């Protein structure tokens, strides 16, 4: 067993079985994905459309590919034929494009609403207030080719564990709130929160899907 396979096994054995582990393979070559695949991993996450498409083409077709990064409207159509979950649905405009393009190819596409929970400023993600307002306006009811499966969020990049915990707790509470509202039906059941540095806390706070990259594949080299 090599180190990727060892890391995977350690993580899998430390998380409950109801938690889906998304192995985030961005920047790592297809051979690294294959090592994880050979150890039984089937769910992988990427954050760039081009890299996602290239890996989809090159790798076994029983892999479930998750798009975890920001998705530009004009690139939606490249991944729609095969993507199994879009984590970063962060605007109504993007959702309408996904809905329209999915209709064209006769697919129903699973999406998570990305919620901005961290202290850092970012243009990506809905605020909790925005989501409640959009639900009040019935903004999501006309999508025919999208299934809103749950929420995704990223905690602040900080050493302050209590800060991280309280952000995850807030997201879990929003998730329960929306779920009990019922508009999205029983399929609204995925809470994607937790990465290498904080997936333990995320699971304690109610996550059922974690996106783990560097703890499996090692540090990333961006160049």
Ligand X SMILES: *Cc1c(COP(=O)(O)O)cnc(C)c1O
Residues found near ligand X in the complex (CB under 6 A): 24, 26, 47, 68-69, 154, 195-197, 211-215
For residue 198, give Cα distances in angstroms to 35, 97, 103, 155, 184: 24, 32, 37, 8, 28
Q: How far is the CB of 200 from ligand X (least distance, A)?
A: 12
Nearer to ligand X, 150 or 213 (CB): 213
Nearer to ligand X, 166 or 214 (CB): 214
Nearer to ligand X, 26 or 172 (CB): 26
Give DSSP secondary structure letters for 153-210: EE--SSS-HHHHHHHHHHHHHHHHHHHHH-TT-TT--EEEE--TTTHHHHHHTT-SEE
Q: How far is the CB of 211 from ligand X (least distance, A)?
A: 4
Crossing angle of the two packed helices 161-181 and 128-136, in degrees rounded to 10: 10
What is the number of other CB atoms lying within 10 angstroms of the CB of residue 170?
16
Q: How far is the CB of 212 from ligand X (least distance, A)?
A: 5
Determine the residue with CB nearest ligand X: 213
Q: How far is the CB of 31 from ligand X (least distance, A)?
A: 18
Give the integer Cα–Cα distance in Å for 53 and 24: 15
Nearer to ligand X, 143 or 199 (CB): 199
């Amino acid at each position: 067993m090599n180190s990727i396979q060892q890391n995977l096994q350690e993580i899998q054995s430390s998380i409950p079985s109801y938690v889906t582990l998304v192995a985030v393979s961005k920047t790592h070559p297809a051979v690294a994905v294959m090592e994880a695949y050979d150890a039984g991993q089937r769910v992988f996450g990427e954050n760039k459309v081009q890299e996602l498409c290239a890996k989809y083409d090159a790798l076994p077709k029983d892999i479930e590919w998750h798009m975890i990064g920001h998705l530009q409207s004009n690139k939606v159509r490249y991944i729609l034929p095969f993507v199994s979950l879009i984590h970063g649905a962060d605007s109504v405009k993007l959702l309408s494009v996904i809905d329209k393009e999915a209709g064209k190819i006769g697919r129903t596409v699973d999406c998570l609403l990305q919620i901005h929970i961290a202290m850092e400023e970012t243009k990506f993600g809905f605020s909790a207030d925005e989501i409640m307002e959009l639900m009040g306006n019935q903004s999501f009811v006309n999508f025919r080719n999208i299934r809103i499966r749950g929420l995704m969020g990223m905690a602040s990049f900080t050493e302050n564990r209590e800060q991280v915990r309280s952000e995850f707790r807030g997201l879990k509470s929003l998730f329960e709130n929306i779920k009990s509202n019922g508009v999205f039906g029983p399929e609204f059941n995925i809470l994607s929160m937790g990465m290498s540095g904080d997936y333990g806390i995320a699971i304690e706070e109610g996550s059922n899907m974690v996106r783990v990259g560097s703890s499996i594949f090692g540090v990333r080299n961006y160049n």
